[in-house]
A and B are shown apart, each in its own frame.
Chain A
Amino acid sequence: MLCAECDLLIQNKIIEEGSYLKCPRCGHVLYKQKYNTIIKSLALSITALICFYPAVTEPIMSLSMGGKEQHQNIIEGALVLLKEEHYIVAVLTFMCSLLIPLFRLLLLFYVTLSLSVNYFSPHLFWTFRLYHYMEEWGMLDVYMLGVIVSVVKLSSMAEIQFGFGFWMYAMLLICSIMANNELNHHEVWDRLLAKKKAFQ
């Protein structure tokens, strides 16, 4: 075994179910002995995908000020910035808070479903790699904190109410974090390789 963070050569060790193997030199977690994670991830990714539609289309919050009311959902947030010609900020917000999380969930759904129903395609390999690549750029959690900060900022100027979209967004956030943490990447790679051999 080689450590991904310091390239240390380590002898393969068999460890107990549910425990970790850490690199003795840099402390990087090399391996998690956890199985049957795929079906749990599949269930969580389906739940998250169901939450996605209302989270995006329903208003996150509404504001009333001077007798006028205003609703907002995530898509409008990016559209307003586009109209103001802040293209980079608009695209970045749209990608990180919506497009990449959605895309990652779909990829996860595709991979876990294929493994569960015994379907194989060579595309699964790059699909799962892409899922891993985009991990850092899905920023549902940061956006959630952004919503809370905005509420506090506005609380002195106007009255704020959380909309249905907010709660759906919170559900989406929880499910996608759990789906991500639950999944053992080593198990997915092992299963994919076994499938590849079986179908050759």
Chain B
Amino acid sequence: MNYYTGKEEGLVLCTECHTIHQFIPDVLMHCNRCGAELNQRKPNSLARTWALLLSSMILFIPANMLDIMNVTYFGQDDPSTIMGGVIVLIQLGSYPVAFVVFVASILVPLFKMFGILMILLSLKYHIDLTDKQRIKMFRVIDFIGRWSMLDIFVISILAALVNISGVAVITAGAGATAFSVVVVLTILAANSFDTRLLWDYKKLRS
């Protein structure tokens, strides 16, 4: 079946209110209905995604190496990293919660970063992945992204709640900052990627 895209037909879709406009090249267009900026493809989508992805990957190292939380229990310090927190939960015997935290704070960010990396590399080096695989992967990445904030919220709840001096005090560590920045950067990376490029690149090759 022969497909035509809006770009080939000289049309542009307002991604906010779904109106279709005639595209005028080299002019900054705004939607006459809702006022949003109109672009046939998100500007510099690939470069922005690469930049955000690489910075999140770099920050992922300190996020996992530094302590995210410090528990002082009867005067004894017990700092823990992200993985340490999961291990504590396993030792407590609460396997479902340990699993949820492990998935949200380790698997999801890793999966996200490698997923976006794979999509970008497959576009760059023409690795064969079907469009269906790519778009499915991207939708999963887009959906799960926010859930990595889980550990950050847990820390902020614990730090506020467990604050009984002399008995137990929980404070956040430097790793928490790094980790929250990783989460924000990966969400921004997914947002700056334009899914329509997946199909453009396929047409270019064939």
Contact = CB atoms under 8 A, between A and B. Distances in A.
A162 to B, nearest CB: 12
Interface in B2-26: 3-7, 9, 11, 13, 15-20
A126 B34 CA distance: 7
A6 B5 CA distance: 8
Contacts of B94: 152, 155
A132 B154 contact: no
A81 B159 contact: yes
A92 B9 CA distance: 42
B154 A149 contact: yes
A197 B152 CA distance: 47
B18 A186 contact: yes
Contacts of A70: 161-164
A143 B156 CA distance: 10
Interface residues on B, range: 35 or more
A116 to B, nearest CB: 20
Given A7-B199, A27-B135, A86-B177, A72 B147 contact: no
B155 interface: yes
Nearest to B177: A88
Interface in A87-106: 88-90, 92-93, 96-97
Closest 5 CB pairs of A and B: A146-B153, A77-B160, A2-B13, A2-B6, A7-B5
Interface of A: 1-2, 4-9, 25-27, 60-61, 63, 65-66, 68, 70, 72, 76-81, 84, 86, 88-90, 92-93, 96-97, 125-126, 128-129, 132, 136-137, 139, 142-143, 145-150, 152-158, 185-186, 189, 192-193, 196
